[in-house]
Structure 1
């Protein structure tokens, strides 16, 4: 009997650590940490840029017995933009050769412009209103004339990365009484452009 009691006591003492471990508080696993990636940074448009453009235009002509036609455009542009956070503004010099014909063997040879533009940013896009001074050289009645005028329009550029952007704009020009011929030229152009930002 004494041996039985002694063996029982030894068994209980040996099992005590197991019971103690079984009564311990369960270990709480830490909650997983969810990392939210930062929102992509808005592109900065500040700086100089230059590029090329390609497009199509139509010239409306009135007075002087001249009518206008459509044709292709091709040219280049350089400019500077200032980024104000949610808005961008700047200026651009542009030159386009054209194939826009005029009746009687005439032609709009080129369009040049000094453009001011400003508008809001939406993500990588910059939309703007444009206005400025324009110049054209046109052949009318067998003579070549250069005439200054003005224009207005709209456009949008999209920043592909830090250095490159693509975009497009629609401009409407006005050149009154070109060369004293009584002919008013009103070219409207639509172009796409690619620019490199320095």
Structure 2
């Protein structure tokens, strides 16, 4: 009989052990697992005015007048940032050192009024540009000037929040330059440094 009682008590103890294993306190809820956070890319706002300087190279082709040389000048404008796209207006002026191959024949300067539209890639702005160009030249002892058009591509990169570096390649066309009967085309490639306000 003692054996049956001992066996019964052992069975009750074995069955109740899992119930008492956690103690009398309630189990704590599991801490929530934080979801991984995707990196946030902070967009760059290209809205605002800018000024700067540029240095480049120009190649001029016309009937009997061809030459190439250094260009250097000033630039400025204003951009509006619409999220992924940027629209802007600007102007620049280049002095040139381009000998056109004749005795004293030179291209003296090129001024441009510009429109540009491009993609906001964060710290980089890649754009197309076009507009009106006005060139002055000395040919055959006469001072000539004419207005034509230009188009090209460029890119600016923010090295700080206000300072930029960039590059631009433009093609220019002047038909019947100053009623001379000569069509002039020119290509310029330049690098620039700018300050944004």
| Unaligned runs of at least 5 residues, structure 1 | 1-22
| In 1, Cα distance between equivalents of 2:163 and 2:40 | 21
| In 1, Cα distance between equivalents of 2:56 and 2:40 | 35
Matched, 1:90 2:91: no
Deviation at 1:183, TM superposition (A): 2.1
The match for 1:56 is 57
Of stretches 167-176 and 79-88 in structure 1, the one that deviates more from structure 2 is 167-176
SS of the residue corresponding to residue 66 of structure 2 reads coil
Of stretches 34-43 and 123-132 in structure 1, the one that deviates more from structure 2 is 34-43
**Does the Cα contact within 8 Å between 1:43 and 1:159 map onto a contact in 2?**
no
| Unaligned runs of at least 5 residues, structure 2 | 1-20
Matched, 1:115 2:114: yes
SS of the residue corresponding to residue 179 of structure 1 reads helix
Write the deviation string for residues 109-153 of structure 1: whole angstroms up to 9, x where unpaired: 011000000022223221111110000000111211111111111
| In 1, Cα distance between equivalents of 2:54 and 2:37 | 40
Alignment length (residue pairs): 176
SS of the residue corresponding to residue 181 of structure 2 reads coil
SS of the residue corresponding to residue 102 of structure 2 reads helix
Deviation at 1:34, TM superposition (A): 7.1
The match for 1:101 is 99
| In 1, Cα distance between equivalents of 2:67 and 2:40 | 49
Structure 1 pair 164/37, CA: closer, same or farther in 2 (3 Å)? farther
| In 2, Cα distance between equivalents of 1:193 and 1:53 | 4
**Does the Cα contact within 8 Å between 1:92 and 1:114 map onto a contact in 2?**
yes
- State the Cα RMSD in Å: 2.4
The match for 2:150 is 151
The match for 2:48 is 47
Of stretches 143-152 and 153-162 in structure 1, the one that deviates more from structure 2 is 153-162
Tell me the TM-score normalized by structure 2.
Answer: 0.80
Deviation at 1:178, TM superposition (A): 2.1
The match for 2:187 is 188
| In 2, Cα distance between equivalents of 1:130 and 1:181 | 28
For residues 16-27 of structure 1, the aligned pairs below 5 Å read 24=22
Matched, 1:81 2:79: yes
Tell me the TM-score normalized by structure 1.
Answer: 0.79
